[in-house]
Amino acid sequence: MAMLAGLVLVIVGLLVTLVGGFLTFFGGRLFQSPFATETADGISGGFTVTGAVILVTGILHLLSGIFVWAHRSWARYLGLVLGALGVLLGIAGFLGGTGQTTSQQFGLVTGLVILAAYALVLVGLIMGGRHFRKERIQ
């Protein structure tokens, strides 16, 4: 179970890192007018900071997933924290997507996917405790 949780953390980490990197390096250009010579500094700076936070979160997912495979207990604890925060994010997305419009229904489905993925991470890391025990070679 812990290996599967590590795989989910790596996959989520790759996706989050890509989004965070895109927002960090190109997010400010999304609102740049072709007629203006400068981008609004507030918007550009906001995308850079938000993207950097998302990028760091993605890197933490990657580190946790990779080192869960390497039987590191610190990676398990980091994965549990990320899993708990992800479950809360999934619940928020699920509750925010209970309307009738297409965007609200997309939020519902996205919230359910996030909730399921992070619930799998939590269950895998909690139930996979033997994966992290140090076996003595005799």
DSSP letter for each residue of 39-76:
--HHHHHHHHHHHHHHHHHHHHHHHHHHHHHTT-HHHH
pLDDT value of position 37: 54
Q: Is the pLDDT of residue 137 over 60?
A: no
pLDDT value of position 99: 67
Amino acid symbol at 33:
S
Q: What is the mean pLDDT of residues 107-124?
A: 92
Per-residue pLDDT tens digits for 18-77 = 999 998 888 767 666 666 555 555 666 777 888 899 999 999 999 999 999 998 999 999
- Nearest CA to 131 among 14, 8, 13, 4? 4
pLDDT value of position 36: 58
Per-residue pLDDT tens digits for 84-95 = 999 999 998 888
Is 0.85 surpassed by the pTM of this model?
no
pLDDT value of position 133: 79
